[in-house]
Amino acid sequence: MIVARRRSLILGMGAALLLFMGLIYAYSVLLAPLKGTFGWDVASMTLVFALSIISFTVGGIVSGELVRRGWERGGLALGAALLAAGFWGTSAVDGASGLLVVCATYGVTASAGIGIVYNIVIPTVTSWFPDRVGLAQGICLMGFGSGGFVLGPLVTHLYALLDWRVVIRGSGVALAALALAAAVVMRPPTDEGRRAAPGPPSPSGPRTPAKSAPAEQGAAAMLRDRTFYLLYAFLFLLGCVGMGVTGIGRELPLSLGASDLEAALVIGCVNVGSGLGRLGGGAALDRLGRSRTMRGVGALGLAGPVAMIFSLATGSLALQAVACLLTGVSWGAAVVSMPFVTRTRWGQRGMAQNMALVNTYSVFASLVGSWGTGLLSAAAGSYVPALLVMALMGAASVAVARAL
């Protein structure tokens, strides 16, 4: 009973914390006043987002080493400090150097803090749920993916009431406080807790002891495994689609004449879909296995950009919201496949380090998907060529999933 309550507390805290960390995906809403004040173009905004994803990945690598050393609490405190410093630095931006400052404060400092927190929470929660790896990860990642939709409209409303500098500072303080609160609660189970937790489910139905867990393999063994490269390619392709749409952000609905609030809600559907995809994808991975699940995810990754092209052609905000939802579901389900495959293929012990290595795909996906989309759209004077490339990437992901 004590272990069951502890599992619920860890899961709830992890999901709540990652919900607020998911503000990273609402960057186009969070930084909208700065874009308007300093006259930044779409390519400049997508550069900030690309940097934030790269720094998020680097933060994950750092936290992988912290988890290996058993320094989860110290890692969360470090993440909190970086979040506070990054948001406060962003709120102080002014003058011609504003873009460079935001790249350094939000794009690097705050985003690295989010990456550290993220890659401590996911392995810690997973360690408490050997019987429901995909579902536990999906619940946490649903919070992370939904953060932009939940917090984006709230931030937009606060901007109408308060100076944008006050809102950004307050956001940094709130995120840092949540990370510090989690440091008090989040920790892996003791040996006694691991023995008391249910083991992984067997194909015949009854739960089995932990001896059916996968062999523990470190990074060197993982890099010799063909599965790693297929998973990496799958994540890169669908990451480019998700980050491409997120990188353009609110400019897509604004191009159809949406108001600021409507734009936040429409592009927020990517985050809603991401949350649903992470939860549903986690459950599907547990029930259907990775191959069938990931083929379906790839098909959605193709459908999203195609629907987005039609929304631009018809001027339909409703269809664009559906396109954002499809893109988000695909991206979210792809993301949850990363910790699932990492845990079930290469084991729990080195999960934080292995997952951080797999997550380096997002460095390349952010450069190609986010910044590349911004550059291509600016050069073409249209979002359609970039969306066509995204559709081809979605189709390619289905082929990769078949090989998995």
pLDDT at 214: 66
Contacts of 61 (CB under 8 A, 6+ apart): 356, 357, 360
Residue 195 has what pLDDT?
55
Both tokens of 122, joined, read: 């996911």
Beta bridge partners of 201: 207
Q: Specify if 213 maps to a domain.
A: no
Distance CA 265, CA 256 (A): 14
Residue 60: pLDDT band (50, 70, 90) is confident
- The answer to whether residue 200 sits within a structural domain is no
Cα distance between residue 246 and residue 254, in whole Å: 14
Q: Is the pLDDT of residue 327 over 90?
A: yes
pLDDT of residue 196: 54
For residue 210, is pLDDT > 50?
no
CB atoms closer than 10 angstroms to residue 12: 15
CATH number of the domain where residue 265 is located: 1.20.1250.20
Please indicate, yes or no, if residue 206 is contained in any of the structural domains.
Answer: no
Q: Which residue has the tokens 């159809």?
A: 256
What is the pLDDT at residue 2?
65
Least confident of 95-109, 150-164, 271-285: 271-285
Placement of tokens 């609030």 in the chain? 261
Phi-psi label, residue 41: left if phi above 0, alpha if psi -120 to 50, beta otherwise:
beta
CA-wise closest residue to 15 among 130, 129, 153, 96? 129
Q: Which of 144-158, 211-225, 281-295 has the highest mean pLDDT?
A: 281-295
Q: What are phi and psi of 218, to 5 degrees?
A: -85, -170
- The answer on pLDDT for 404 being more than 90 is no
In a domain, 211, yes or no: no
Q: What's the structural domain count of the chain?
A: 1
In this structure, of 144-148, 216-220, 334-338, the range with the lowest mean pLDDT score is 144-148
Q: Which residues of 139-169 are buried (b: 16+ CB within 10 A; e: fewer)?
A: bbbbbbbbbbbbbbbbbbebbeeeebbebbb
Q: What is the pLDDT of residues 262-320, one digit of tens each?
A: 888 898 888 788 878 877 887 888 888 888 999 999 999 999 999 999 999 999 999 99
Is 251 domain-assigned?
A: yes
* Residue 322, number of CB atoms within 10 A of its CB: 20
On whether residue 197 sits in a domain, the answer given is: no
Would 196 be classed as within a structural domain? Answer: no
Angle between helices 260-288 and 290-314 (to 10 degrees): 160
Task: Determine, yes or no, domain membership for 205.
Answer: no
Provide the pLDDT for residue 226. 93
Domain with 109, as residue range(s), is 2-187+219-403
Q: For 195-201, which contacts have Cβ atoms below 8 Å and span 24 or more sequence positions?
A: 196/3, 197/3, 197/7, 197/128, 197/129, 197/130, 197/131, 198/130, 198/131, 199/130, 199/131, 200/130, 200/131, 200/133, 201/131, 201/286
Q: Is the pLDDT of residue 205 over 50?
A: no
